[in-house]
């Protein structure tokens, strides 16, 4: 599989691991531009992800992810991109940019979400996190795929705080 030389950094990882937050912080730190595939899709549809799942279904959402993936590959350079947890299913992921997998245990992710000041909101907006048992199954199924696709793996549980993660991420920009 061809690894992209687009200059993009692409964050992958399970829901709630902190991809969007870290991508935004890293972009700020590096004076770069940050894109978020979920936000792009919400703009395309003028609807929140939750509503897209409710009205059009998951398959439709996955088609939009693929459309965005082709667009990113063709048009976006030197940017920091955060993706939805299932974006890894797109055909051209490796062609979009260097892939950074933000890794954490499932328990670590749940703790991170529950400790967030916006915990309720963060849980409510994620249709595939509503049933914890199913979410854990999905986590198990996806973990190997994330590892295989990653160019770089950052185990976020090894770091004291967000600032230290950013310090590490800056090295890859
Ligand atoms: C999904 C993750 C979500 C969002 C959608 C589906 C998934 O993004 O794309 O709810 O399949 O894992 P986050 O990873 O930002 O929660």
CATH number at residue 112: 3.40.50.300
Range of the structural domain that residue 63 is part of: 9-166
Atom number of ligand 1 nearest to Cα 14: 14
d(CA 123, CA 68): 24
d(CA 123, CA 109): 11
Count up the domains in the chain and report the number. 1
- 34-71: pLDDT as tens digits: 999 999 999 999 999 999 999 999 999 999 999 999 99
CB 125 within 8 A of CB 39: no
Cα angle vertex 21, ends 18, 25, to 5°?
A: 130
Atom number of ligand 1 nearest to Cα 65: 9
- 67-96: pLDDT as tens digits: 999 999 999 999 999 999 999 999 999 999
Whether residue 43 lies inside any domain: the answer is yes
Whether residue 89 lies inside any domain: the answer is yes
87-120 burial by CB neighbour count: b if 16+ within 10 A, else e? bbebeebbbbbbbbbbbbebebbbebbeeeeeee
Whether residue 171 lies inside any domain: the answer is no
- pTM of the predicted structure, to 2 decimals: 0.96
- For a ligand 1 pocket test, name from 85, 134, 142 the mutation site with the most ligand atoms within 8 angstroms of its C-beta: 85
Whether residue 33 lies inside any domain: the answer is yes
Residue nearest to atom 1 of ligand 1 (CA): 85
Tally Cβ neighbours within 10 Å of residue 44.
13
């Amino acid at each position: 599989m061809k690894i992209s030389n687009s200059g993009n950094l692409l964050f992958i990882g399970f829901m709630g691991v902190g991809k969007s937050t870290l991508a935004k912080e890293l972009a700020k730190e590096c004076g770069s531009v940050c894109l978020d595939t979920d936000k792009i899709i919400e703009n395309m549809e003028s609807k929140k992800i939750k509503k897209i799942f409710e009205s059009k279904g998951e398959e439709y959402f996955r088609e939009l992810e693929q459309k965005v993936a082709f667009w990113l590959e063709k048009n976006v350079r030197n940017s920091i991109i955060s993706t939805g947890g299932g974006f890894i299913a797109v055909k051209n992921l490796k062609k979009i940019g260097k892939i950074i997998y933000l890794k954490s245990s499932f328990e670590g992710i749940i703790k991170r979400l529950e400790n967030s000041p916006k915990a309720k909101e963060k849980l409510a907006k994620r249709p595939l996190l509503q049933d914890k048992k199913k979410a854990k199954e999905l986590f198990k199924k996806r973990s190997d795929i994330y590892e295989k696709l990653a160019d770089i793996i950052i185990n976020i549980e090894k770091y004291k705080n967000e600032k230290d993660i950013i310090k590490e991420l800056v090295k890859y920009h």
